[in-house]
Structure 1
Amino acid sequence: MSEFSTGPLRQDERESWGALFDGYAAFYKLTMTREIADRVWGWLHDPHHPLECLGVRTRDGSLIGIAHVRACPRPLGGCDVGFLDDMFVAPELRGSGAADALFDGLEALARERDWPAIRWITQHYNARGRAFYDRYTGGPSDFIMYQRQLA
């Protein structure tokens, strides 16, 4: 039996999810407000919203990591791919295999949904995350992301 299990976020995990989401925002030096967290929590439990959350849990069922993921159309392929928006594992459990379990869960979800790929972005300074991602991809893609902020 694996040390970790993955599966959809449950309604009774609001507090644990919130602490992980707060940690994720803090890593990126963003302030998480209750209003934003409540809105995202609502999205995650709305069957009509594309965003969903895969959680990783310890054997005792404690939520210790999250991955927010959604279908993303890929017009040149005529298909959807998975887009990983956010991934965060409790700092004290990094290196434990929890992130690997999340990726295994994401790959199972992609197969279930017939997504031929999962895409994501990360900050250039996320050295630990990038080292982890490199194990799964062999390194970053040749794409450069641009973003134009609107008022």
Structure 2
Amino acid sequence: MTPRIRPLQKSDAPGLAALVTGYRRAMGAGGSEMLETDAHRLISSADADLNILLLGADAGTGLLGFALAFDLPEIISGRNAGQLDDLFVAPEARGIGLARALIGRLTEIGIVRGWTHLRWLVPQDNIAARRLYETLAEPAPWDSFRITLA
């Protein structure tokens, strides 16, 4: 089945909560479980006017993946770029093209919005994701750093 990529609706909150819980665990956040109320709030925060995109991936059996992205002012070009902040596909749904489809939909949106590029970060130890991303994009010539504030 061809994956369906679509904006998330409030009715997707239970599925999103389960996916985010899995994502948090995969990112090393331990047992941090997302509640449905938090998923509702996240879905409500996605707003085209605010340039926040929250897309879901569905292969006919329910929500199996998500991507959160936004418009980012890009000072060098004077235009906007797309920033893919989070992307996750349920382990049982990997390998059927959902991540590729989510990124593909974001590039389509980016073309319409006039983005100069779509960029994202990937943990250095996520070899499977890095292999996929190398088939879709070229590595950027810089590393990312962070200061934890909380």
Q: Residue by residue, what CA displacement relative to the aligned partner does 1:66-99 show, whole Å, maximum 9, x if unpaired?
A: 0011111101111111100110011111111111
Q: Give the Å deviation of 1:100.
A: 1.6
RMSD: 2.0
Q: Give the Å deviation of 1:115.
A: 1.0
Q: Residue by residue, what CA displacement relative to the aligned partner does 1:14-60 show, whole Å, maximum 9, x if unpaired?
A: 0101111111111111143547x745642431336543311111135
Q: What are the equivalent positions in structure 2 for 1:1-150 lying under 5 Å apart?
A: 3-31=2-30, 32-34=32-34, 38-39=37-38, 41-46=40-45, 47=47, 49-59=50-60, 62-138=62-138, 140-150=139-149
d(CA) in 2 for partners of 1:38, 1:90: 21
d(CA) in 2 for partners of 1:69, 1:41: 17
Q: How much identity, in percent, do the aligned residues show?
A: 27
| Cα pair distance change 1:42/1:149, threshold 3 Å | same
Alignment TM-score, normalising by the size of structure 1: 0.86
| Cα pair distance change 1:14/1:39, threshold 3 Å | closer
Stretches (4+) displaced over 2 A = 31-35, 37-41, 46-52
Name which of structure 1's ranges 121-130 and 111-120 shifts more when overlaid on structure 2.
111-120
Is 1:43–1:52's contact at 8 Å kept on the other side of the alignment? no
d(CA) in 2 for partners of 1:50, 1:41: 18
Number of aligned pairs?
147
Structure 1 residue ranges without an equivalent (≥5)? none
d(CA) in 1 for partners of 2:40, 2:86: 14
Task: Tell me the SS of whatever aligns to 1:23.
Answer: helix
d(CA) in 2 for partners of 1:129, 1:150: 27
d(CA) in 1 for partners of 2:7, 2:107: 14
The letter for the 2-side match of 1:53 is L
